[in-house]
Structure 1
Amino acid sequence: MADTTAVDGAVSITGRTPWQITRARLAKDRGTMVALGAAIFFVVLAVAAPALTAIGVINPYDGNSKLVGGLGSLPIGPAGGVSAQHWMGVEPGTGRDILSRVIAGLTVSLVVAVCAVIVSVVLGTVIGLVAGTAGGRVDWWLSRLTDFVLSFPQTLMLIALSTIVIDILQAAMGSDRTPASMVFMILVMGFFGWPVFARVIRGQVLSLKEREFIEAARSLGANRRRIYFKELLPHLWAPILVYTTLVMPQNIATEAALGFLGVGIQAPTPSFGSILNDSVHYANSDPAYFIFPGITLFLVVLSFNLLGDGLRDALDPKADRQ
Structure 2
Amino acid sequence: MSADTARAAEASDPVADARDGAVAIAGRTPWQIVRTRLVRDKVTMVAFGVAVLFVLLALTAPLMTRFGIINPYLNNSDLVGGLGSLPIGDFGGVSWEHPMGVEPGTGRDLLSRVLSGLTVSLVVATSAVAISVVLGTIIGIVSGTAGGKVDWFFSRLIDFVLSFPQTLMLIALSTITIDLLQSALGVGRTPASMLFMIAVMGFFGWPYFARIIRGQVLSLKEREFVEAARSLGAGRGRIYFKELLPHLWAPILVYMTLVMPQNIATEAALGFLGVGIQAPTPSFGSILNDSVHYATSDPAYFIFPGLTLFLVVLAFNLLGDGLRDALDPKADRQ
Q: Tell me which of 241, 245, 254 is aligned to 1:229.
A: 241
Q: Aligned-pair distance for 1:11?
A: 2.7
Aligned residue number for residue 197 of structure 1: 209
Whole-angstrom distance in 2 between the partners of 1:71 and 1:221? 74
> What is the identity percentage for the equivalent residue pairs of Structure 1 and Structure 2?
81
**Unaligned 5+ residue runs, structure 2?**
1-17
Aligned runs of 1:131-280 on 2, under 5 Å?
A: 131-280=143-292
In structure 2, the CA distance between the partners of 1:199 and 1:53, relative to structure 1 (3 Å rule), is same
- The structure that is strand-richer by fraction is 1
Aligned residue number for residue 90 of structure 1: 102
Q: Tell me which of 318, 325, 329 is aligned to 1:306.
A: 318
Aligned residue number for residue 7 of structure 2: none
Whole-angstrom distance in 2 between the partners of 1:8 and 1:296? 60
Q: Tell me which of 119, 128, 134 is aligned to 1:116.
A: 128
Whole-angstrom distance in 2 between the partners of 1:175 and 1:316? 45
The alignment covers a number of residue pairs equal to 317
Q: Which amino acid aligns with 2:212?
A: V
Q: Deviations over 1:81-110 (max 9, x none)?
A: 000100000000100000000000000000
Q: Aligned-pair distance for 1:69?
A: 2.1
Aligned residue number for residue 282 of structure 1: 294
The two structures, once aligned, show a CA RMSD in angstroms of: 1.4
Whole-angstrom distance in 1 between the partners of 2:187 and 2:222? 51
Whichever of the two has the greater Rg, that structure is 2
Whole-angstrom distance in 2 between the partners of 1:140 and 1:245? 29
**SS in structure 2 opposite 1:11?**
coil
Contact persistence 2:83–2:105 (CA under 8 A): no
Q: Tell me which of 24, 35, 42 is aligned to 1:12.
A: 24
Q: Aligned-pair distance for 1:196?
A: 0.9
The normalised TM-score by structure 1 is 0.96
Whole-angstrom distance in 1 between the partners of 2:19 and 2:304? 58
Aligned residue number for residue 3 of structure 1: none
Q: Which amino acid aligns with 2:30?
A: P
Q: Deviations over 1:209-264 (max 9, x none)?
A: 01111111111111101100110000000000000000000000000000000000
Q: Deviations over 1:41-71 (max 9, x none)?
A: 0000000000000111111011100000279
4+ aligned runs moved over 6 Å, structure 1: none
